[in-house]
Structures are given as structure tokens and as C-alpha cells.
Copies of this chain bind each other. A is one copy, B any other.
Amino acid sequence: MTFNPVLDGLKNYEAGKPIELVVREYGISPSDVIKLASNENPRGCSPRVLAAIQQESTRAHLYPDDSMYELKEGLASRFGVGKENVIVGAGSDQVIGFALHAKANPNQGILMAGVTFAMYEIYGKQTGATIFKTPSKMHNLNEFRALLATHKGAIGVLFLCLPNNPLGEGIDTEEIKTFLREVDPNILVVVDGAYQEYAAFKDPAKAINPKAFIEEFPNVLYLGTFSKAYGLGGMRCGYGIGEAGLIHTLHKLRPPFNITTLSLKAAIEALKDEAFVTHCMEENFREMKRYEAEAKALGFDFIESYTNFITLAFSEGKSASTIAQSLLEKGIIIRDLSAYGMNAVRVTIGTPEQNSRFFEIFKRAYC
């Protein structure tokens, strides 16, 4: 059977190794596996949210309220915007998909940092669009400027991952605003704030206020998620915030019932427990200092991180792939960044206990 030609350029996505696979392949007990590979919140979700999910499970047979009335109210109230400025997705991933299918095409390309969230490119290729990346791996706004000038009229969507996944770097919000004032207003700028709760906690200069952004820049789509700070990665719920006309257009691409009944309830309740999030942020950055100290002690580099993970970069004598594989066989899953052309690994900041175990095994693998 023949298929649409755009599929020829697509590969099947390979996700990070799940706990189940390590259990199967290495015969390690599930309780002994530590997953520091997917930037999940090691504290799980708020106890209040957990109770709500369990209660709502008796309604698992019922489709969710497809208007997502209560969740949109919660998000609108949280960010000081209107319900008409909010769209909900199965993870912010799905909203990325809506944005790309609305705007990108074989003549309208996609611009992003050299190393950034993989889904921008994966969904982007589904539209047949050309992918443009900056030469630098981390966000470099001057390189974005240069590519916009070179490919004037040929770029439809621009991604800024603030702070950036999988590298962790942040940029001051004032610099972003200056840059956005120069961008053609017909380019859709996706500001991916999946880790904004972390950045805002660590450095207010890197905090993004979605309301202020979409008021000044009607071409900005801000993305947030319940997968990281709120500890609901497995529930697949994220959101986009933008100018009402933009959000209305994106809704045309939203499938009905795109999040589960339990996810909807979980997200609604999660917004009511900000104290839980703050507690997680405190622990995250306290523990991150241990990683930084370890890197200094062992003599390798790390990227200053505004997220819940840290990128550890090794010198030539050490192989990131070998280290990651060695840890995997001991039941510790981290992300090898070799596929990004980097001799580095990305490690999610775990609980204090998980991190101690990581250091113990890592030192044996590294030294």
C-alpha cells in the first residue's frame, strides 16, 4: 500500500527506557529501579491530587466534560487570563502538535535551538516543513536573529524552550522580550514553559508571565504542563495560553475528549495545592547543589540548570554512553545525550535517597 509521501521522512519515536523494561531485561526488582531519565517529579503528585484521582476512578467509564469548564476556569484564574485564552492538551506535547499543524507546511519552516525538546522536530516533520536549527546547542538569540533574516518569509513557527530541555539553560525574560519585539508578527512563537515553575523559583529574572506575554505578543503561544512540577507526567495533561483568536483556531485541531476523566480531575485539584509545588521546588534545588558539588569534586562540567534535571558533560576520556549503560545495568536509568552529539548525560534530580544511591553507583561507573 502507498502512503502519503511525508511519512517517508518520519521515524518511529524511541522513548526513554521505562522501569518495566529494565525489570524485564536486567532482572532487577521494580522497587530497586531508580528512574532519573524522564524528569518526572520524584515526590509524585500532591496527596490531595492522589485522593481526587482515586475518588474519580469510579467515574472511569464516563467521558470527561469536553468543555473542560472547571479546568479552564482554574487555569484562567491562575494566570489572570480568560477561559478563551486557554486550550488543554494531552500533555503540552499535543498543543505543540496543534500549533505545528495549524501553521507549518512545506513552505513554512520551523526554527529552534540546536538541542531542544525533540517533539518540535518530530511533530514538525509530520507537516512536511523544513527544520532550521541554530548552530549553538543552547539558545542563542543572535543566531535566531540571523536565521530569521536569512530565511525571511520561510519560517512559520519558532520555538523557545524556556528553560530548555534537555540542557537546562535559562535566558532572562527581558532579553526574550527584546527579541520578540523584532520577530515578524505572522510567525507563531511557541514559548514552552514546561519547566517554568522551576525557573521562576530559582531566578525571578527568568520567570515568564503568560498574561503579559500574550498581551504584548499576540503571536505567542505559551505552553505549560502538569507533567513536571505538579507530578502528573503519567496523566498526560498540559495547556496552551494565547490570544483568543489563536486559541480558537487551535481548538479546530483538538480531538474531543483529549484528556482522560481522571486527568481532568487531577489537573483541577493540582491547581489548588501550590504549597506542594513550592515544597518540591525547594527540595529540587537543594538536591541539585549536591550534583553540582559532585561534578566539581570529580572534575567534570555541568550546565547551570533552571529545571528539575542537570546535564553532566564529560571530557574525552570518559564516555557518556558507557556510563549510562553501566548505570542501567545497576537499575539506574538516566538519559544519554550522545544522540545529540554531546558526550553528556541528563539526570533528573531525584529524592535525597535516590540521589545518594545515584552518586554511589555513578562514582563506581565514572572513576
- What is A's interface to B at a CB cutoff of 8 Å? 1-4, 7, 10-13, 15-16, 18-21, 24, 35, 38, 40-45, 49-50, 53-54, 57-67, 69-70, 90-91, 93-94, 97, 101-105, 119, 123, 126, 185-186, 188, 218-219, 227, 231-236, 245-246, 248-249, 251-263, 266
Residues of chain B within 8 A of A50, CB atoms compared: 57-58, 60
CB pairs A–B below 8 angstroms (26 shown): A1-B218, A3-B103, A7-B253, A13-B255, A15-B63, A15-B256, A16-B63, A19-B62, A21-B65, A21-B69, A42-B61, A43-B61, A44-B58, A49-B60, A53-B57, A54-B57, A57-B262, A60-B233, A60-B266, A63-B227, A63-B233, A93-B255, A233-B261, A236-B257, A236-B260, A260-B263
Given A90-B90, A101-B4, A251-B12, does the pair A234, B60 have CB atoms closer than 8 Å?
Answer: yes
Task: Return the contact of A10 from the options B70, B234, B252, B256 (Cβ within 8 A).
Answer: B252
Q: How far is the CA of A102 from the CA of B45 in the complex (A)?
A: 37
User: What is the minimal beta-carbon distance from A268 to any residue of chain B, in angstroms?
Assistant: 11
Within the oligomer, what is the number of copies of this chain? 2
- Known contacts A4-B103, A64-B234, A93-B255; 11 further A-B pairs (Cβ under 8 A): A1-B185, A1-B188, A1-B245, A4-B105, A13-B256, A45-B61, A50-B58, A59-B234, A60-B233, A62-B233, A236-B257
A35 and B7 form a contact (CB under 8 A)? no
Assess the B66–A15 pair: CB atoms within 8 A.
yes
Q: Are A252 and B7 in contact (CB under 8 A)?
A: yes
Taking the closest CB of chain B, its distance from the CB of A279, in whole angstroms, is 14
